Amino acid sequence: MRNTIKVLGIIALALIIGFGVIACSDGPKDDGKKNPVIGSGKYAGKDVLGNSYSLSVGSDARAAVKGDKFQMDLKTRDGKTRNVKGTVTEVNADGTLTLKEDSTNIEFTAKVDGTSTLDTVVGSGNGSSLTLNDGTKFLPRSFETIYLRATRWTNNSDPSDVWSGENWGSGLSVLIKDYPANVSMLEGNDPDRYTMTISGKSDANIGHLRLEIQGLTNDDEWVFLGGSSKVHDVNITAGASFNHTIPIDNLAVDFNLVKGKGNFMEYKEVILQVTNMVNISSVKNPEWGENYGTIPADKPDGSIMATISDFKIKLADTQRTVITGNLGDYTYCIQEDGLSVDYRMARWELDSATIAKAKQAGAKLEITVAADIGEPTLNFVWQDPVRELWWQDQSWICGGVEANDWAFGLADGVTWDADAKKLTIGLDGFINDNRFASATAVNFIIACWWGSNEGKTNIDTFKITKADITE
């Protein structure tokens, strides 16, 4: 097991760093006449969180060329629009543009299709954040389409144990914090505890798909946290939809020794590397090698080997206590700005039956906990993802009351049963936006702004055991 973990860490680090120069291969390029003016040609797309991207480059009359100036506008879910500007440094025939930010010279990539579609935006291989025009640090979020790109690599960090190999991989394009999950850390050494469910449709056959989880520290250091072993290789058929649940059975040997340990809150990003193993070899330990072929010579590093559309993931902890009630379990919520997950917030996605109950006069939201929650500051929020209403009727539930020398208090319509450890919220007094009555998709959020995040803990510290909508 220890040797397998070492191999996974070597592969993932080599893959991610290699994708810092995706479009700088010796493949087809357009190195046409330089144009120092931002073009009017626009490519638009959205990430999985609902943020909108608009890339202006080239012109209406021609495609982008090396040397063009670009501007990428980012409109986040909170309605703010910011931008990053710079220069096109490479253009590949497959539509991959390498873009260099003006203020920091950090390179990132964008994949465009046709004359108007922005398929994906991917951060630099070393994980450095872009700087938007208002100073906000930003790493492009995940898109629904991902690309597995060719890479040939050698890792000689240990001269006595040189590794080399070939793979297809997703680089920095799949950020685990962008997808619904109720797992905020990896811990222990139980190979059956954690699973990753992946789904989508690939345009190419994938014979040996594996998953690797890496943490990215604030200093842009990569930390291997876990991955799937070759005994759980997944075979994907081109053109067919797939849905696979894969054990993350190779966890880091000792989470107490790795930077940030296994707690996702200690990393600015947690990346899922989606990899198709082609071959790997070790000079020192050839018995650990694998060989399933080679990448064709006419496919330079960075070439797109597979396109996976409608790609989704969900990380799960099989040992997590089951939450009862008609709302079931929660996932962590994305912050109001739509850029990062907030582990202080629990998000429930209501089904049609619970939406109907919540709309009834006198409906209540009941949350039962097992922990001593103390005197937290809690807020209620609802969302309608279909109409992109992300932060509706934010209301104070309980917390310190300024007019009463910050003594703990409850909002009108809220009760706390200390014996049953049950919080009851009368929804009539909390939902005032009349658009709720016609909503067909609803998320309820309980946010803890104080009391759950001390010491970088999260909403899990309440140990919620039941979540119910009652009439």
Residue-wise DSSP of 349-416 = E--HHHHHHHTSTT-EEEEEESS---S-EEEEEEEETTTTEEEEEEEEEEEEEGGGTTEEEE-TTEEE
Report the mean per-residue pLDDT for the chain: 88
- Max Cα distance, the chain (Å): 75
Query: Which pLDDT does position 421 carry in this prediction?
Result: 95
Cα–Cα dist 282/289, whole Å: 6
Q: Specify the amino acid at residue 275.
A: T
Cα–Cα dist 91/108, whole Å: 12
Cα–Cα dist 442/7, whole Å: 43
Contact criterion met (CB below 8 Å) for 109 and 94 = no
Contact criterion met (CB below 8 Å) for 55 and 113 = no
Instruction: Please report which confidence band the pLDDT of residue 28 belongs to, taking 50, 70 and 90 as the band edges.
Output: very low
Q: Specify the amino acid at residue 467.
A: A
Its pTM stands at 0.88
What distances in angstroms separate CA 352 from CA 397, 439, 441, 442, 451, one per listed residue? Answer: 25, 10, 8, 9, 33
Query: Which pLDDT does position 380 carry in this prediction?
Result: 97
**pLDDT surpasses 60 at 94:** yes
pLDDT tens, residue by residue, 161-196:
899 999 999 999 999 999 999 898 898 788 889 999
Query: Which pLDDT does position 254 carry in this prediction?
Result: 74
C-alpha atoms less than 13 angstroms from C-alpha of 157 in its C-beta half-sphere: 9
pLDDT tens, residue by residue, 103-160:
889 999 999 987 789 999 999 877 889 999 999 999 999 999 999 999 999 988 888 8
Which residue has 């609902």 as its token pair?
A: 50
Q: Are strands 222-227 and 206-216 parallel, antiparallel or unpaired?
A: antiparallel
Positive or negative, the CA dihedral 103, 104, 105, 111 is negative
Mean pLDDT of 369-385: 91
pLDDT tens, residue by residue, 232-249:
999 999 999 999 999 999
Lowest mean pLDDT across 95-104, 264-273, 456-465: 456-465
C-alpha atoms less than 13 angstroms from C-alpha of 275 in its C-beta half-sphere: 35
